[in-house]
Amino acid sequence: MPLVAHSKLPTFGQLREQGHEVLSLDRAVHQDIRELHIGFLNMMPDAALRATERQFIRLVGSCNRIAQFFVYPFSLPDLQRSDETLGYIERYYSDFDALRGEGLDALIITGANVANPKLEEEAFWEPLIEVVEWASDNVASILCSCLATHALLKHVHGIDRQPLPQKRWGVYSHRVSEPGHPLLRDINTRFDVPHSRHNDISRAQLEAAGLVVLAESPEGGVHMAASPDQFRVIYMQGHPEYDANSLLKEYRRELYRYANRERDTAPPLPENYFSGDAVRLALDALEAAKHAREAGSTYDDTLEADVVGLLDNTWGDTAKAIVNNWLGLVYGVTNLDRKQQFMPGVDPDDPLSLKEKK
């Protein structure tokens, strides 16, 4: 069912160009279709902010419920940002205080980069917890990704994530642990998920807190778990939202960091990701980065253009199905008679100016 382009957020136009159904606000106003209003707290660093925004909004728009989906990206003021990104957020993102005043049906929270060994020491910790505590009482469900999962598990259950011996980085095969769970309805019993993280929360830690493990991997660890009431909070350690080339972009960033001596060791290849000719091209790029590092010369490559056509996305359909099930559960418990609260008025740059639907 369609997303609604209720603001000038560029992602709406990009998704429309890629063939996704995105309604104009005028057309949405004249359709008598149920609405769901989804908050999207985007804490990703500048380099990944817009891609993550597009990836999650695309997943929401893939839901097959008969509904119009209004997605409201917002961020936190305590995250370190460039002036350019701050300008983008100011122009296109919503304000949490306004969203809190008007209400949401569900909330998605992304990961973030951290600089401290303890999450509670991060500058964004208190603002994040403020959002979480409000959402716990005011939305039907919270869906967490990666760092957000670790933060909520620390705040709600006192679970401390554990450092991994080395970064868990690649695409891993997972098996469904609770096939009868409503979030896993009509899901393949085995599916892939990309991971990119330095820390882990184990099955034992989750089960000790009374949480339900839904999918895990011998190599990748637990990907998904849920609160005992089935879907009030969904925890994901992996990145099912990733594009086929997301890990490729991460690998290239690490090659540049290595060539520029910003990291001491050569980056490993993401596990189970490159295959065939893509492996050779990735290793050739690594050799070029090593040469640039040793020679003190500028490193550059054409790796993304060379490799992108050789990559496979083996997780996207399952990600869409799980988000579809999640939104179906939200759809089933939210108030069918709730008046619409989020229709923008005449100013298209102000997605939170209100205009009651007649």
Answer whether residue 130 shows pLDDT above 50. Answer: yes
Q: Band of the pLDDT at 63, cuts 50, 70, 90?
A: confident
**Whole-number Å distance between alpha carbons of 337 and 328:** 17
Residues 32, 177 within the same domain: yes
Residues 138, 222 within the same domain: yes
The domain tally of the chain equals 2
Residues 234, 260 within the same domain: no
Average pLDDT in the chain: 90
Beta-carbon count within 10 A of 302 CB:
9
| Nearest alpha-carbon partner for 343 in 16, 123, 68 | 68
Answer whether residue 341 shows pLDDT above 70. Answer: no
Phi, psi of 179 (to 5 degrees): -60, -20
293-317 mean pLDDT: 96
232 in any annotated domain:
yes
Residues 303, 317 within the same domain: no
345 in any annotated domain:
no
Q: Band of the pLDDT at 350, cuts 50, 70, 90?
A: very low
Residues 229, 127 within the same domain: yes
Contacts of 324 (CB under 8 A, 6+ apart): 62, 63, 64, 65
Phi, psi of 105 (to 5 degrees): -90, -35
Residues 76, 134 within the same domain: yes
Top pLDDT among 125 and 25 is at 125
278-301 mean pLDDT: 97
Residues 64, 175 within the same domain: yes
Cβ burial, residue 345 (10 Å; 0-12/13-18/19+): exposed
Residues 86, 35 within the same domain: yes
Provide DSSP, 164-197.
EEEEEEEEEEEEES-TTSGGGTT--SEEEEEEEE
45 in any annotated domain:
yes
Answer whether residue 348 shows pLDDT above 70. Answer: no
185-206 mean pLDDT: 96
60 in any annotated domain:
yes
Torsion on CA atoms 209, 74, 2, 234, rounded to nearest 10: 0
Count helices and strands (H / E) in the chain: 12, 11
282 in any annotated domain:
yes
Alpha-carbon distances of 153 from 199, 225, 236, rounded to whole Å:
13, 11, 11
Q: Hey, what are 357's tokens?
A: 């639907």
Q: CATH no. for residue 68?
A: 3.40.50.880
When mean pLDDT is compared across 46-55, 171-180, 285-294, 334-343, the lowest value belongs to 334-343
When mean pLDDT is compared across 54-68, 133-147, 314-328, 330-344, the lowest value belongs to 330-344
Residues 168, 269 within the same domain: no
Provide DSSP, 111-171.
-----SSSGGGSTTHHHHHHHHHHHHHHSSEEEEETHHHHHHHHHHH-PPPEEEEEEEEEE
Residues 298, 317 within the same domain: no
* Chain Cα centroid distance, residue 74: 13
110-137 mean pLDDT: 94
Residues 111, 213 within the same domain: yes
Q: Band of the pLDDT at 28, cuts 50, 70, 90?
A: low
339 in any annotated domain:
no
Structural domain range at position 59:
3-242+313-333
268 in any annotated domain:
yes
* pLDDT score recorded for residue 345: 41
291-314 mean pLDDT: 96
**Whole-number Å distance between alpha carbons of 323 and 56:** 9
* pLDDT score recorded for residue 3: 75
* pLDDT score recorded for residue 29: 62
Beta-carbon count within 10 A of 329 CB:
19
Q: Band of the pLDDT at 354, cuts 50, 70, 90?
A: very low
* pLDDT score recorded for residue 2: 66
Active site residues: 146, 239, 241
